[in-house]
Amino acid sequence: MSAITSPAFKDNVRAALQDRQLQQALSEVAPGLAARRGAARAGLPEFEALRDRGRDIKDHTLAHLDLYLEAFEKKAGEAGSHVHFAPTAEDARQIVRTICRDAKARVVTKGKSMISEEIGLNPCLEADGLEVVETDLGEYLIQIRGETPSHIIAPAIHLTQDQVEADFRRLHTGLPAGRQLVEPAQLVAEARQILREKFIAADVGITGANFLIAETGSSVIVTNEGNGDLTQSLPKVHVVLASIEKLVPTLEDTNTLIRLLARSATGQEISTYTTFSTGPRRAADPDGPEQCHIVILDNGRAELLGSEFREVLRCIRCGACMNHCPVYTAIGGHAYGWVYPGPIGAVLTPALIGVHSAKHLPNASTFCGRCEEVCPMKIPLPGLMRHWREEEFSSGDTPLLYRLGLRAWAAAAKRPRLYHALARIGIPLLAALGRRRGAFRRLPLAGGWTRYRDLAAPQSRTFQALWADTKAGVPR
């Protein structure tokens, strides 16, 4: 399993806020993604109606997921694919290890796959002596740094160009030291050259899947680079890693989701390459893999189907939620501590690694609602985060001091007479204390606030007290 640092969320956040390069990278890229999504939506009048359709397609599929998986398995088998079911992450790792072993693989190329991160595949294969090469440029950039992705579609969003140049010079020692690496185009050309050799040398190519289509037994990937296509076409063996909820009934259903995906992710009308793969090469095909394996992972998702978190399984991995999240765009993806960052991560991570480890994630939200507003699948993300807070509260996982404060406040809030009586005493006192400056620079019990902000003093008396006076004819 990918290393989990979610329990250290607050430390992660502190580090992220002080990381100047991360902050620079976030401020450069994130606002553009949100703006472009807005423009794409404005350019397609049917966008909102398509969101409803997309949500309905996923809801229908999830309600019949067992049967659609069976239908997919049958069709994929007819096309010559081997379909493997993996109840757990360990099962999935073993399946892929066995496939690689049977193929006598030495080099493995990978297209972007969040599932492979989730199950911790790379270190496992490397321990078997395999060379594993990420081919999505962003994934390659972080692989050579030994980092994990910080965004689900732009994994290296946190890196600046200078950092990339430094990494290339450090790692690509076979190339002339005096070469120019000033322009992004030069860096891309170098990555292309290095990775081209790996594409050709690979024995096994592993890709993820945005969708698995039951009607045809196909898997679908979307890229702008074309790396997924080279990964899955050149080696002898193609392995698809997908989780159970990627199922979609028909090609037409996929059309609807494709109409939403790229527009929500990057504001493009469609990704440069949307590829539908079905089985290995046919007898007459001059190229393509000889074997196609599809590994379908559960790892806790089946359980979600029966829970109040079911809607999170509609996700099509566009990343719009995090692009629009004020928290994500302030702290970046690594702070979330595991594979899935941003609002989707705040809901999914507790489900997959346990709410105790991930407890900060659903709490670190202002519930501004932008994620739900932009989610193409209309996942009610803030409401789902609130469900996690309810679970934490009822299991006693909320910090003690906070619980006590809440209980004291609740005792008064449920009793209007007591509440107003206490307020009539406390508020004028606080108002008097703050009258000179009009605000507090420091206030006991309010350290979290006053560390960074002044706290306005109350006016003088409560509204209820003043209103009672008004009603009694006492002038204000």
Partner 1 sequence: MSAGASSRDAVIFKIRKALGTYDSAQRRTTVAERLGAPPPPLVPERAKRPKEGQRSLLRSFLEGQSATVIEVASTTEVPAAVARFLRSANLPLRVRVGDDPYLDALAWNSEPALERRKGPAEGNDEVGLSHAASAVAETGTLVLASGADNPVTLGFLPETHIVVVEDKDLVGGYEGAWAKIRARFGKGAMPRTVNFISGPSRTADIGGQLVMGAHGPRRLCVILVRG
Partner 2 sequence: MPGSGKARPRVGLFVTCLVDLFRPSVGFAAVKLLTDAGCEVDVPVRQTCCGQPAYNSGDKATTEAIAQLTIAAFEAHDYVVAPSGSCAGMLKLHYPALLKGDPAWSARAAAFAAKVHELVSFLVNVRGVSTVDATLEARATYHDSCSGLRELGVREQPRKLLRSVKGLELVELTDADVCCGFGGTFSVKYPDISNAIVERKAEHIAATGADMLLAGDLGCLMNMAGKLSRQGRKIAVRHVAEVLAGELSDPAIGESP
Is 306 among the residues that bind partner 1 (CB under 8 A)?
Answer: yes
Site membership for partner 1, residue 327 (CB under 8 A): no
73 interacts with partner 1 by CB under 8 A? yes
Residue (13 or 164) nearer to partner 1, CB: 164
75 binds, among partner 2, partner 1, none (CB under 5 to 8 A by kind): partner 1
For 230, residues 6+ apart whose C-beta sits below 8 A from its C-beta are 109, 135, 199, 205
Of 5 and 186, nearer to partner 2 (C-beta) is 5
Nearer to partner 2, 97 or 461 (CB): 461
29 is a contact residue toward partner 1 (CB under 8 A): yes
Nearer to partner 2, 104 or 414 (CB): 414
338 lines the binding site for partner 1 (CB under 8 A): no
DSSP H or E stretch at residue 220? strand 218-223
Q: Is 308 in the site for partner 1 (CB under 8 A)?
A: no
Burial of 66 (0-12, 13-18, 19+ CB in 10 A): exposed
- Do 165 and 68 touch, CB atoms closer than 8 A? no
Which one, 7 or 226, has the nearer CB to partner 2? 7
Q: Which does 437 bind (CB under 5 to 8 A by kind): partner 1, partner 2, none?
A: partner 2
Using the rule CB under 8 A, is 200 a contact of partner 1? yes
Give Cα separations from 198 to 111, 194, 201, 207, 354 (angstroms).
12, 7, 5, 15, 37
Report what 333 binds from partner 2, partner 1, none; CB cut-off 5-8 Å by kind: none
Q: In 135-166, which positions are buried (b, 16+ CB within 10 angstroms) versus exposed (e)?
A: bbbbbbbbbbbeebbbbbbbbbbbbeeeebbe
Partner from partner 2, partner 1, none binding residue 436, C-beta < 5-8 Å depending on class: partner 2
Among partner 2, partner 1, none, residue 291 binds (CB under 5-8 Å by kind): none
Which residues form the interface with partner 2 (CB under 8 A)? 10, 13-14, 17, 326-327, 330-331, 363-370, 372-373, 386, 388-394, 398, 402, 406, 409-410, 412-414, 416, 419-420, 423, 427, 435-439, 441, 446, 448-449, 451-464, 466-468, 476
Closest approach of partner 1 to the CB of residue 59, in Å: 12
Query: Looking at beta carbons only, is 6 or 299 nearer to partner 1?
Result: 299
226-285 residues in contact with partner 1 (CB under 8 A) are 226-227, 229-230, 233-234, 244, 249-253, 255-256, 258-259, 269-282, 284-285
Instruction: Identify which of residues 271 and 462 has a Cβ nearer to partner 1 in the complex.
Output: 271
- Count of residues that interact with partner 1, criterion CB under 8 A: 98
Can you read off the two tokens belonging to residue 46?
A: 């049917």
List binders of partner 1 among 109-148 (CB under 8 A): 135-138, 141
84 binds partner 1 (CB under 8 A): yes
How many CB atoms are located within 10 Å of the residue 81 CB?
A: 24
Closer residue to partner 1, CB minimum distance, 154 or 457: 154
**Cβ distance 360 to 10 under 8 Å?**
yes
Straight-line distance from the first to the last Cα atom of the chain, in angstroms, rounded to the nearest whole number: 65
Identify the DSSP state of 138. Answer: H
CB 114 within 8 A of CB 152: yes
Q: Work out whether 201 is an interface residue with partner 1 (CB under 8 A).
A: no
- Residue 375 binds partner 1 (CB under 8 A): no
Please, which residues have CB within 8 angstroms of residue 371's CB and are 6 or more apart in sequence? 320, 321, 322, 324, 325, 342, 343, 344, 381, 382
Minimum gap (Å) between residue 451 Cβ and partner 1: 33
For 249-311, give the DSSP string: S-HHHHHHHHHHHHHHHTS-SS-SEEEEE-SS--TT-SSS-SEEEEEEE-TTHHHHHTSTTGG
319 and 151 Cβ atoms separated by less than 8 Å: yes
Q: Which does 196 bind (CB under 5 to 8 A by kind): partner 1, partner 2, none?
A: partner 1
**CB closer to partner 2 out of 217 and 362:** 362
Q: How far is the CB of 336 from partner 2 (least distance, A)?
A: 12
Distance from C-alpha of 265 to C-alpha of 257, rounded to nearest angstrom: 12
Q: Are 260 and 376 in contact (CB under 8 A)?
A: yes
Distance between CA atoms of residues 465 and 156, nearest Å:
56
